[in-house]
Amino acid sequence: MTLIVVGAWAFAALLLLAALYRCVFGVAQWLPARDAGPAIPPDRLRRFAVVVPAHDEELLIGELIGSLQSVEYPRDHLEIWVIADNCSDQTAARARALGVRVAERSDRAQRGKGYALRWMIERLDLAGFDAVALFDADNLVDPDFFTVMNRELARGGRCLQGYYGISNPGDSRLTRLMAVTYVMKNELFYAGKARLGLSVLLLGTGMVFAREVIASNGWGAVTIGEDLEQSFELLERGESIRFVLGARIRAQEAATLRQGYAQRQRWSSGRHVLYRRARRAIALGIRRRSLTLIDAGLELLLPTYSKLMNQSLAALLVAVLLRGRAPGLLPAVLLSLAYQAGEIAVALRRMRAGPAFLASLAFAPVFLAWKAVIDLLALIGFRRQLWARTVRHRGGQ
């Protein structure tokens, strides 16, 4: 029984540390913004190569292209490329009909977004551009995205990650619930990191890289977690990834658990694939005395929002069962849960959430149970290297 109590205390301590880690940035996001440098000169508008990897995306590719063509930035300073990657539908034809450039790729052996990006970037003539912007095919890009990113590039930014939100928050209980977590990730966690001058990890879309970064590093990440892998590639080379709160894109969130399975399975597996890389980053950060590398490794190794909640609830059950032998264990676990509840409350307030969003919290137990199964399958390696596309749908479906 003593070993069980010691193990329970060790687990509770890890949960508290994970909550404290998030708390540091949740508090930091209230700090005054750091001075990012001088204002952009009015005569320096940078040219962007806009790259969109797309696999069977005829349903939504037109909406993305429309949003890109409607941004408040000179049209002749954007060159839009769609990678029709192993497509069996009309993605390429639809994109061409809307007046953008299309590169068709067919390689059944090397499938996935990372391979498509590497293939395209190797073929891009970067000489005519100042930066490369990457988006997913289900995105909508805010009108001032490139104006904001242009300013950040002028201030010395080389690797930039924009705000990644949801385009269809009102579609279902699931999308409303996920909208809360996206606010937590962007406005509490990543905004806090930005306030402290720390790097973030790439989110897979809404990314901008200065030409020099792409020219020297290319795109080397081809695992199922290509965005996280590319993050570590850049950070280990001494780059920093700056979070840009004001440059926003929105992506379609799955409206049902069935639609969302492939995406969540890929994300969870991608993290597990890169755990060794994260530990290496921490070790390298200690040797180099680089807080950026240490923090990046910790961010990947520590539990996600849903996993921390699931683990905390499991620890709560254990604490109740052991309350006679470990009386201090229950308050420790409740403290972790209290912070997580506080994050949710702040996010709901930040969103000015209405009754429908508040009611969606009742769906959380179902989502958490579903996500626990996915995380368990990822832990044991089930379909870990399999890339599968996310099912798309029209709004309201």
* pLDDT at residue 138 in the model: 94
Inside any domain, residue 351: yes
Inside any domain, residue 3: no
Inside any domain, residue 41: no
Inside any domain, residue 2: no
* pLDDT tier, 234 (very low <50, low <70, confident <90, very high otherwise): very high
Question: Has residue 391 got a pLDDT over 70?
Answer: no
Question: Has residue 118 got a pLDDT over 80?
Answer: yes
Report the distance separating Cα 175 and Cα 130, nearest Å: 36
Taking Cα atoms as reference points, which of 341, 152, 367, 132 lies closest to residue 230? 132
* pLDDT at residue 379 in the model: 81
The share of the chain scoring above pLDDT 90, in percent, equals 81
Q: What is the edge-to-edge ordering of all strands in the sheet holding 78-85?
A: 101-105, 78-85, 48-54, 131-134, 207-210, 159-166, 241-251, 139-141
Report the distance separating Cα 15 and Cα 34, nearest Å: 30
* pLDDT at residue 382 in the model: 64
Assign residue 292 the CATH number of its domain: 3.90.550.10
Question: Has residue 226 got a pLDDT over 50?
Answer: yes
The angle that helices 305-321 and 364-379 make with each other, rounded to 10 degrees, is 100
**Which of 24-33, 181-190, 267-276, 371-380 is predicted most confidently?**
181-190
- Which residue range forms the structural domain that includes residue 280? 14-29+47-390
Q: Burial code of 99-109, b = ≥16 C-beta within 10 A, e = fewer? A: ebebbebeeee
Inside any domain, residue 396: no
- Condensed to tens digits (0 to 9), the pLDDT of residues 76-110 reads 999 999 999 999 999 999 999 999 999 999 998 88
Inside any domain, residue 7: no
pTM: 0.92
How many structural domains is the chain composed of? Answer: 1
The mean per-residue pLDDT over the stretch 220-240 comes to: 93
* pLDDT tier, 377 (very low <50, low <70, confident <90, very high otherwise): confident
Inside any domain, residue 34: no
Beta bridge partners of residue 81, listed in sequence order: 51, 101
DSSP sequence for 152-184: HHHTT-SEEEEEEEES-TTSSHHHHHHHHHHHI
Question: Has residue 244 got a pLDDT over 70?
Answer: yes
The mean per-residue pLDDT over the stretch 325-354 comes to: 94
Listed in sequence order, the residues at least 6 apart from 155 whose beta carbon sits closer than 8 Å to its beta carbon are 36, 37, 38, 40
Report the distance separating Cα 122 and Cα 215, nearest Å: 9
- Condensed to tens digits (0 to 9), the pLDDT of residues 122-179 reads 999 999 999 999 999 999 999 999 999 999 999 999 999 999 999 999 999 999 999 9
Least confident of 70-74, 146-150, 386-390: 386-390
Question: Has residue 43 got a pLDDT over 60?
Answer: no
* pLDDT tier, 10 (very low <50, low <70, confident <90, very high otherwise): very high
49 sits in which H/E element: strand 48-54
Q: What is the mean pLDDT of the chain?
A: 92
The mean per-residue pLDDT over the stretch 179-195 comes to: 96
Q: Where are the alpha helices (DSSP H) in the chain?
A: 2-28, 61-69, 91-97, 113-123, 145-154, 173-183, 191-195, 211-217, 226-236, 257-273, 275-288, 291-301, 305-321, 329-351, 355-359, 364-379
Higher pLDDT, 379 or 339: 339
Cβ atoms < 10 Å from Cβ of 374: 21
* pLDDT tier, 397 (very low <50, low <70, confident <90, very high otherwise): very low
Inside any domain, residue 40: no
